[in-house]
Structure 1
Amino acid sequence: MPKLIVTHEVDDVAHWLASPKREEVFARVAKNITTFVLPGDPKRVALSMEVADMDAFDTVMKSEAGASAMKYDGVRPETLIVYLKG
């Protein structure tokens, strides 16, 4: 199962950490979702997760539900970077 690291900026780290949307939307395609914050930078965060089906993950990322969850969480989509374990 491929492991991903996803980094991005958010409007409010506390809101992002407390949000249930991440699990609601991505739990179907990702397991072991873990959140991280960058000490000293109040806007920079990351996620690690295991994804069994990258096509399904991409579909969720491009879906209205994915966009809605990111908007609710205050994610700045233009800052999103996805790393795939090599």
Structure 2
Amino acid sequence: MPKIVATHEVDDVAHWLASPKREEVFAGIGANIRTYVLPGGANRVAVTMDVEDLAAFEAKMKSDAGAAAMKYDGVRPSTVVLYVEG
């Protein structure tokens, strides 16, 4: 089960950290979801999760539910960078 690391910018770090959307959207796709923030007040954050089915993960990211979750969380979509454990 590879680990996914996603880095991106958000509008409000505290809101992003408190959001239930990650768990809601990735339930059944991602496990061991963890959040990270860049110290110093920057709006750069990261999330990691173990993903069993990469195709399902990618489909969820491109889905309406994925887009709605990113909007709710204040994610700046153009800043998302995904890394897959190699």
TM-score (norm 2): 0.97
2:82 is aligned to 82
Q: Equivalents in 2 of 1:28, 1:69: separation in Å?
A: 16
1:25 is aligned to 25
Correspondence list, 1:27-66, <5 A: 27-66=27-66
Amino acid in the other structure paired with 1:75: V
Unaligned 5+ segments in structure 2 are none
Secondary structure of 2:76's partner? Answer: strand
- Runs of 4+ that moved beyond 2 A: none
2:16 is aligned to 16
User: What root-mean-square deviation, in Å, do the aligned CA atoms of Structure 1 and Structure 2 show?
Assistant: 0.7
Amino acid in the other structure paired with 1:59: A
Q: Equivalents in 1 of 2:38, 2:3: separation in Å?
A: 20
1:6 is aligned to 6
Secondary structure of 2:39's partner? Answer: coil
Amino acid in the other structure paired with 1:43: N
Amino acid in the other structure paired with 1:58: E
Deviation at 1:41, TM superposition (A): 4.1
Q: Equivalents in 2 of 1:28, 1:65: separation in Å?
A: 14
% same residue: 66
Count of aligned pairs between the two proteins: 86
Unaligned 5+ segments in structure 1 are none
Whichever structure has more strand as a proportion of its residues is 1
Q: Equivalents in 2 of 1:5, 1:76: separation in Å?
A: 16
